[in-house]
Every structure is written in structure tokens, then in C-alpha cells.
Amino acid sequence: MKITSFVKGLYNRLVGGDKRNGLQTTGAQKLLSSKRLWLFIIMTYGGLSLFSLKKNNEQYSLKLSVSRKVSRISGKFAHLKVPQPLRKPLFTFYSRVYNVNLEEIENDIESFESFSKFFTRTIRPRPIDPQPFSLASPADSRVLTFSEVKGDEVLIVKGIEYRLGEFLTGINSYKIKDEVLESMKRNPKNKLYQIILYLAPGDYHRFHSPADCEFKTRNHIVGKLLPVKEKYVKTHTNVYEKNERVSLFGDWVQGMMCMVFVGALNVGSIDLNFDSELQTNRKLKMPFTNTDIKIYTENAENGTESLDSKGIPSGKSVGKGIPVTKGQEIGKFNLGSTIVLVFEASPDFEFTVQPGEAVKYGQCIGNSK
């Protein structure tokens, strides 16, 4: 092997050649030298292996992640067919434990062939907030927090923050600078805001558009699938930055709109209705890319949206994307999880909800005066 030859040559240079010094080498010395050589080779290979492991530590960590494996196993169990006689008692019991509103379900409870079908159930249509400059809740959920975005560190709960740059790009320790935040806005007079919504296991698991939007870019970031419950987030750092997530970038009437769907333990599958290529929590083969960016266009003539070097839309929109109307269903989780909205709005935009408040999809969560 070339590496072995290189190591042998390096060894000879380090220990020095006896012939070079004009000295004779005995058989015992040759044997000892040979043993030292192979020990040197093994130690060198070990060092190179450790270096390689450190270099690819993140990828190995993701490939061997217990949370990803557990979530895939949970998904397989959730897709197992439930015998007809057991469906009503099982789903009714689950509904009582997790406060599922069975009156909203469109289909009979016994029609769901598996827990997965029950988790991703459809419900009867609801009225959607009609105000043109308001945002509607994208999902049945609980408000964790909301705030104006003034820098890279953004509040999750009191005393706990997430790093917006790493969260949106998937690049470790990437910090969004003020000029990048400004470039994300379509109107320099506007402000950026964020709101975090937590979906519990008993909530309706499909998500909807918070406004009339046109989504132009999707960024799928491979990650772990740690729990996202508030209690866990309070006691563990960088949960949002570590977890697998899917981001949609686009526009609404007031400017930039970004929706981030965060995976969680037992919630490895995130589906988008208009993107059949998206595959979350897939088995990873080394080496792999941590991010998968897709540009949406209605047709080849519409062009694309320009991105900066980190994969964040620059604000310079070129062409059309995927148009969705306010309240339109755009995808689903296979169990409870988290949605983060990062968006642009006028300086007088106000949230109409409070942290800890339960909200329904279609309900107004904020508007501009």
C-alpha cells in the first residue's frame, strides 16, 4: 500500500539508518527494529483514523444517532395495520390520554387502518382569518414564544436561545450578521419577527400556510431527532440547531416568509404536499451532504431565487415559486413537533396571542394595524 510505504520511509528517516552510520545490524536488532516499525505503522494508522473520525464526527454521529433509529422503528410500528375490532378502543383511549377532539375528524374512527393514519387524520374545514395583513396559525399548537429578530441569537424560552444562522443553514457555528438580516428583508423599513409553535401528540398534525405565500426555496437539513418539549429544551442546549428540519423560504404581502418544520423524537417524517422528492430521516450512507436545497419554479421559464453563499435567500427574487393560499394545507408531521415562523412585517405588527396559549390553525396570531 502507498500509505504503508510512506510510513516505512518516514520511520526510517526518524530512527536513522544504521547503514548510513556505517554500523552493522545484528539479527536481534533487526527483529526489534521490525517490531518497532509495525508498532509505528499501527500508531500512525490509529492517529490518521482518529483524525478522520474527528473530521467526520458530525456525520458519524448522525449516522449512528439513536434518536433517528428509534424514530424509524416507531414509524414502522405506527404503519402496522390495526385489526378492525381494536381500532375504536385503541384510538379512543389514545384520544382520552392526549385530548384529541374526535368531533372534528372527518372520517369514522374505525376507518383508520393504522396509528399513522390516525395521527395524520384530516379534520372538517375551519374558517380562516380573512385580514390581508394578518398571519394565521399554521397548525393546532401551543405558542412557545415570539419576539422581534434583532440578531443571531433568538429566544425560545426564558434564558434559552437558538442561533438563527445555524438553524436556517445547518452550518455549524454560522452566525448571521446584521447586514445579512437586512438583506433578507424586501422592505428596509420593515422588521423581522419570529414565533415558535409546539404541536403536542394529541394535536391535529397537518400544517397550513399562515398567509397567501409564494414559496421559492426549500432547505432540508439532516439532523438528530431529539425531543422538542419545552421541559427538554430548557435543560438541553442547541436542540433546534441539532434536529432534522425543513425550511421553506418565500414571500407574503409584507415581505419575506420562512417556515421551519422541526423534526423530533418519533417524528422523523415531514411531508410537503408539493414536494415528492423530500425524504426525511432516511438511512444515511457515508459520505452524505447535511443539506439539500431545492429551488421551486412553476416552469423552466420562471427562473429561480438567488441565494447567498450560505443558502439563505438574498432577497433578490427572480421568477415565481409555489403559490399557496392562506389556510391551504401544505404538509404534515407524523406526530407532534414544532413549527418556527421567521418573517418580515411592518414596524407596527403585533402578535395577538400570548406564550402558553393554545391556538388553532386558521386563527389570527398577529397583524399590522
CA–CA separation, 89 vs 274, rounded Å?
35
- DSSP character at residue 195: E
CA–CA separation, 172 vs 246, rounded Å?
16
Please report where in the chains the cell 378492525 appears, as a residue: 84
CA–CA separation, 350 vs 147, rounded Å?
10
H/E run at residue 359: strand 358-359
Instruction: Please identify every residue annotated as catalytic.
Output: 140, 208, 337
Which three-class secondary structure state does DSSP give residue 143? strand
In angstroms, the first-to-last Cα distance of the chain is: 72
CA–CA separation, 1 vs 146, rounded Å?
59
Residues β-bridged to residue 243: 224
The answer to whether 114 touches 78, Cβ cutoff 8 Å, is: yes
Report which residue type is found at 261. Answer: F
CA–CA separation, 338 vs 228, rounded Å?
7
Residues β-bridged to residue 161: 155
